Structure 1
């Protein structure tokens, strides 16, 4: 069976979980900076493509309106935390406290998406939409990663 929108989303979720775990364990220095940059890039590419190719179609159905708005608000909160983390030194108690806050927000958001939002989307979207959205998501996600890798 062809890939649906949910497979590439779960792949990115796995990458995000791995990167945030590694970032929380990393010592100050180049490795921490590289992990933070990789996480920023992954979150940005994922959020942009997910909002375009999952949230927008879900917003078009009354059942998906409120859950999509909540998910968009989660993305905004995480974006604010990532912005707060963009400091020259990537160290200190405040920086690590913000990383922990980001980790909590991220894990909660991913759990909510995988446990309830995806199930609702599975009911709202038909099979052809799920397959088409997967292709569009991957194309947009890959293009965004290329663009971000050239600028970060």
Structure 2
């Protein structure tokens, strides 16, 4: 497995959880569960991706600008997650803010997969792509709670 395949696995989970979150309503156990799972997926992915994809790319001049842009988007998502965490789920504005988060995540994933990955593919060697995938998966697993844990 290479780094792009590893990242796409989490991207698919993010898409599914984001879609599921927008189908929830009110301060329900379902909304709480899906939101916690989504937050955890985004967190585990971002930590591992920053360390084992973006940082290595930043070491190359050709990867600097695209990496800065991606990290800025991660920061924007963190701020939206924090705002959602602080807002009561029963608040009428909660779902609108959740939609903004999901839209931001989807934009970021599409941008990565249809632009950034192609540029990164030219920068990283095949050996680096495989090595980074192993490191990414190990780090991702370290921060990823099981679905069972996310229900608590």
Scaled to the shorter chain, the TM-score interval is over 0.9
Displacement of 1:91 in angstroms is 2.4
Aligned partner (choices 13, 28, 38) of residue 15 of structure 1:
13
Counterpart CA distance in 2 for 1:82 and 1:146 is 17
Question: Which residue of 1 is the match for residue 81 of structure 2?
Answer: 82
Question: Which residue of 2 is the match for residue 131 of structure 1?
Answer: 130
Counterparts in 2 of 1:88 and 1:106: CA distance versus 1, 3 Å: closer
Displacement of 1:50 in angstroms is 0.2
Counterpart CA distance in 2 for 1:20 and 1:142 is 20
1:2-36 deviation per Cα after TM superposition (whole angstroms, max 9, x unaligned): x1001110010000000010000112200000000
Displacement of 1:97 in angstroms is 1.1
Question: Which residue of 1 is the match for residue 118 of structure 2?
Answer: 119
> Which consecutive residues of structure 2, in runs of 5 or more, have no partner in the other structure?
none
TM-score after normalising by structure 2: 0.93
TM-score after normalising by structure 1: 0.93
The answer as to 2:61 corresponding to 1:62 is: yes
Displacement of 1:41 in angstroms is 0.2
The answer as to 2:65 corresponding to 1:73 is: no
Counterpart CA distance in 2 for 1:70 and 1:26 is 31
SS of alignment partner, residue 42 of structure 2: helix
> Which consecutive residues of structure 1, in runs of 5 or more, have no partner in the other structure?
none
Contact 2:84 2:94 in 1 (8 A): yes
SS of alignment partner, residue 113 of structure 2: helix
Counterparts in 2 of 1:35 and 1:146: CA distance versus 1, 3 Å: closer
Question: Which residue of 1 is the match for residue 90 of structure 2?
Answer: 91
The runs of at least 4 consecutive aligned structure 1 residues that moved more than 6 Å come to none
